[in-house]
């Protein structure tokens, strides 16, 4: 094979996607800024000791995010796995080596309303989930009676429907029993103020995606929280196959992270470029949190304008509360097509378009502007009108 000089996805036979869906992993996340890409370029030019890099960047991130300590992971999901490992065995070297065989602390408590497919992230280290409460309610005693010496952590998510226990109550009960609380805030932060609130409410460890609204590398995330817990994350994550006779303490912290070797998080390694890319993306976000707001508004407005060409489409403004972004909801009930068929046609067409399908069961597709380039909002609107018109012309 010839080594490509000018790379394009088309050259590999791939059809690029107009991303009207947002920061989703199955489409590869969001575009990176030139500043982030440039930082990733210099990061890979030189080697460093990865423990020192993690420590130095962790200090910077903790300052930027106003949290006690931080550690760069390969995503929020990996952050949950590392958090679970630390809560199960801490920094005990035998514990690090023996996972996923856990010691006495072998359970994670989760409210039934907070169950999620990402629960695999915590069960992957050998912990069993204990569900408490019901799909729409949890009572304090249902948590309190589980909190014994077999519990490694409580896993908490945001936005559980109904009368569920808020983080503050979960943290009070858990801390009284000496159990830490892990929060999955993958798509809930930024805004950074929410992270501050989670810490104030008593979160011990919070896992956040780097590749969602922070616009960092897709395979990055940050685990934030208590300094003692964050310090032990490295033991489960870094490649520490080193010789004590020659390894020197860290220049950054003086720590000497020997104890385990390749821990259970080793398969979730993070490259220099992800670590530096995430740091720069977080810097950019903190410096100018509203940088993308007007771009998003322009693209949504252009999409909405194009959709007015078709009377049968009912278009309403909506808001994604997790990602904190305005969206467009397009209802196809009055057209000849259902939302599933529109989604299939948008995927087969040119340009290939993907939209949010979370409400497709009620005939609605959602346009999320986070991944749109200039002009793509209008393109999406025009394509949808074309698909709906073609169906009515065909009858
Ligand atoms: C996206 C998401 C994750 C996974 O985040 P990654 O950074 O892709 O690993 C975990 N939990 C929730 C609730 C999410 O939305």
Q: What is the pLDDT of residues 196-238, one digit of tens each?
A: 999 999 999 999 999 999 999 999 999 999 999 999 999 999 9
Q: How far does the centroid of ligand 1 lie from the alpha carbon of residue 261, in Å?
A: 27
Cα(186)–Cα(164) distance, rounded to whole angstroms?
Answer: 20
Q: Is the CB of 213 under 6 A from ligand 1?
A: no
| In-domain check, residue 5 | no
| In-domain check, residue 215 | yes
Q: How far does the centroid of ligand 1 lie from the alpha carbon of residue 34, in Å?
A: 24
Give how far the C-alpha of residue 317 lies from the chain's centroid of Cα atoms, to the nearest Å. 25
If you take atom 13 of ligand 1, which residue's CA is the nearest one? Answer: 186
| In-domain check, residue 17 | yes
Q: Is the CB of 119 under 6 A from ligand 1?
A: no
Q: How far does the centroid of ligand 1 lie from the alpha carbon of residue 46, in Å?
A: 30
Q: Is the CB of 209 under 6 A from ligand 1?
A: yes
If you take atom 14 of ligand 1, which residue's CA is the nearest one? Answer: 186
pLDDT at residue 393, rounded to an integer: 82
What are the residues whose beta carbons fall under 8 Å from the beta carbon of 208, sequence distance 6 or more?
76, 79, 185, 186, 188, 189, 195, 214, 221, 222, 223, 224
- 281 and 33 in contact (C-beta within 8 Å)? yes
Looking at the structure, tell me whether residues 325 and 176 fall in a common domain: no
CATH at residue 271? 3.40.640.10
Looking at the structure, tell me whether residues 115 and 247 fall in a common domain: yes
pLDDT at residue 271, rounded to an integer: 97
Q: Is the CB of 138 under 6 A from ligand 1?
A: no
Cα(62)–Cα(58) distance, rounded to whole angstroms?
Answer: 6
CA angle 297–300–304, rounded 5-degree value: 135
| In-domain check, residue 364 | yes
Looking at the structure, tell me whether residues 124 and 260 fall in a common domain: yes
Domain end point (choices 265, 287, 309): 287
pLDDT at residue 3, rounded to an integer: 66
Q: Is the CB of 207 under 6 A from ligand 1?
A: no
Q: Is the CB of 322 under 6 A from ligand 1?
A: no
Looking at the structure, tell me whether residues 43 and 188 fall in a common domain: yes
| Environment class of 206 (CB within 10 Å of its CB; exposed 0-12, middle 13-18, buried 19+) | buried
Atom of ligand 1 nearest to the CA of 23: 1
Looking at the structure, tell me whether residues 283 and 322 fall in a common domain: no
- 285 and 215 in contact (C-beta within 8 Å)? yes
Classified as helix, coil or strand, 12 is helix
Q: How far does the centroid of ligand 1 lie from the alpha carbon of residue 77, in Å?
A: 6
Cα(302)–Cα(376) distance, rounded to whole angstroms?
Answer: 9
CATH at residue 349? 3.90.1150.180
CA angle 356–357–363, rounded 5-degree value: 120
- 290 and 62 in contact (C-beta within 8 Å)? no
Q: Is the CB of 25 under 6 A from ligand 1?
A: yes
Classified as helix, coil or strand, 390 is helix
Give how far the C-alpha of residue 311 lies from the chain's centroid of Cα atoms, to the nearest Å. 37
| In-domain check, residue 4 | no
If you take atom 11 of ligand 1, which residue's CA is the nearest one? Answer: 186
Cα(67)–Cα(226) distance, rounded to whole angstroms?
Answer: 8
Q: Is the CB of 368 under 6 A from ligand 1?
A: no
Over residues 229-254, mean pLDDT: 90
What backbone phi and psi angles, to 5 degrees, belong to 12? -95, 5
Q: Is the CB of 72 under 6 A from ligand 1?
A: no
Atom of ligand 1 nearest to the CA of 210: 7
Looking at the structure, tell me whether residues 108 and 240 fall in a common domain: yes
pLDDT at residue 258, rounded to an integer: 67
Looking at the structure, tell me whether residues 339 and 210 fall in a common domain: no
Q: Is the CB of 211 under 6 A from ligand 1?
A: yes
If you take atom 1 of ligand 1, which residue's CA is the nearest one? Answer: 186
Cα(379)–Cα(88) distance, rounded to whole angstroms?
Answer: 50
Looking at the structure, tell me whether residues 265 and 312 fall in a common domain: no
On the question of pLDDT at 98 being above 70, the answer is yes
- Which residue among 28, 84, 187 is best mutated to probe the pocket of ligand 1, counting the most ligand atoms within 8 A of its Cβ? 187
pLDDT at residue 247, rounded to an integer: 85
Nearest-CA neighbor of 168 among 143, 148, 189?
143
**1 confidence band (pLDDT: 50, 70, 90):** low
Give how far the C-alpha of residue 83 lies from the chain's centroid of Cα atoms, to the nearest Å. 14
Cα(192)–Cα(70) distance, rounded to whole angstroms?
Answer: 14
Q: How far does the centroid of ligand 1 lie from the alpha carbon of residue 79, in Å?
A: 9
Domain end point (choices 226, 261, 287): 287
Q: Is the CB of 95 under 6 A from ligand 1?
A: no
| In-domain check, residue 140 | yes
Nearest-CA neighbor of 187 among 321, 342, 83?
321
| In-domain check, residue 317 | yes
If you take atom 2 of ligand 1, which residue's CA is the nearest one? Answer: 186
Global pTM value: 0.95
| In-domain check, residue 267 | yes
Looking at the structure, tell me whether residues 267 and 358 fall in a common domain: no
Nearest-CA neighbor of 52 among 280, 258, 251, 268?
251
Q: How far does the centroid of ligand 1 lie from the alpha carbon of residue 186, in Å?
A: 5
Cα(242)–Cα(244) distance, rounded to whole angstroms?
Answer: 6
Strand-pair partners of 110: 131, 155
Looking at the structure, tell me whether residues 334 and 193 fall in a common domain: no
Predicted confidence (pLDDT) per residue in 2-54, tens digit:
666 678 898 899 999 999 999 999 999 999 999 999 999 999 999 999 999 99
Domain end point (choices 256, 287, 318): 287
- What residue numbers bound the domain in which 155 lies? 32-287
Q: Which two tokens stand for residue 189?
A: 């932060």
Looking at the structure, tell me whether residues 257 and 169 fall in a common domain: yes
Looking at the structure, tell me whether residues 318 and 251 fall in a common domain: no
| CA-to-CA dists, residue 306 to 342, 376, 385, angstroms | 16, 11, 8
**244 confidence band (pLDDT: 50, 70, 90):** confident
Query: In the chain, how many domains are there?
Result: 2
């Amino acid at each position: 094979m010839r080594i490509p000089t000018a790379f394009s996805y088309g050259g590999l036979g791939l059809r690029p996607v107009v991303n009207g869906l947002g920061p989703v992993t199955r489409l590869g996340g969001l575009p990176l800024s030139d500043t982030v890409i440039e930082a990733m370029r210099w990061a890979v030019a030189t080697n460093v000791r990865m423990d020192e890099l993690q420590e130095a960047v962790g200090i910077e991130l903790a300052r930027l995010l106003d949290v006690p300590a931080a550690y760069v992971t390969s995503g929020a999901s990996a952050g949950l796995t590392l958090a679970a490992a630390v809560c199960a065995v801490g920094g005990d070297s035998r514990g690090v080596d023996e996972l996923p065989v856990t010691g006495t602390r072998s359970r994670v408590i989760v409210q039934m309303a907070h169950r999620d497919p990402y629960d695999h992230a915590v069960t992957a280290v050998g912990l069993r989930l204990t569900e408490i409460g019901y799909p729409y309610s949890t009572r304090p005693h249902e948590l309190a009676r589980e909190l014994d010496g077999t519990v490694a952590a409580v896993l908490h998510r945001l936005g559980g429907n109904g009368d569920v226990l808020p983080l503050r109550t979960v943290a009070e009960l858990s801390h009284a029993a000496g159990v830490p609380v892990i929060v999955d805030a993958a798509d809930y932060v930024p805004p950074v103020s929410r992270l501050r609130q989670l810490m104030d409410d008593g979160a011990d460890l919070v896992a956040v995606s780097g590749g969602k609204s922070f616009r960092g590398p897709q395979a990055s995330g940050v685990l934030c929280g208590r300094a003692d817990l964050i310090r032990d994350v490295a033991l489960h994550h870094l490649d520490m196959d080193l010789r004590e006779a020659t390894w020197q303490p860290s220049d950054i912290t003086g720590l000497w992270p020997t104890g385990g070797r390749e821990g259970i998080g080793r398969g979730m390694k993070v490259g220099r470029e992800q670590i530096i890319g995430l740091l720069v993306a977080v810097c950019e976000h903190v410096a100018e949190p509203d940088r993308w707001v007007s771009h998003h508004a322009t693209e949504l407005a252009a999409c909405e304008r194009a959709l007015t060409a078709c009377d049968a489409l009912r278009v309403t403004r909506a808001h994604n509360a997790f990602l904190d972004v305005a969206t467009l909801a397009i209802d196809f009930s009055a057209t000849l097509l259902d939302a599933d068929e529109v989604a299939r046609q948008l995927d087969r067409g040119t340009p290939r378009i993907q939209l949010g399908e979370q409400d497709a069961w009620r005939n609605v597709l959602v346009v999320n502007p986070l991944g749109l380039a200039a002009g793509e909002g209008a393109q999406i609107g025009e394509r949808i009108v074309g698909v709906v018109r073609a169906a009515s012309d065909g009858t």
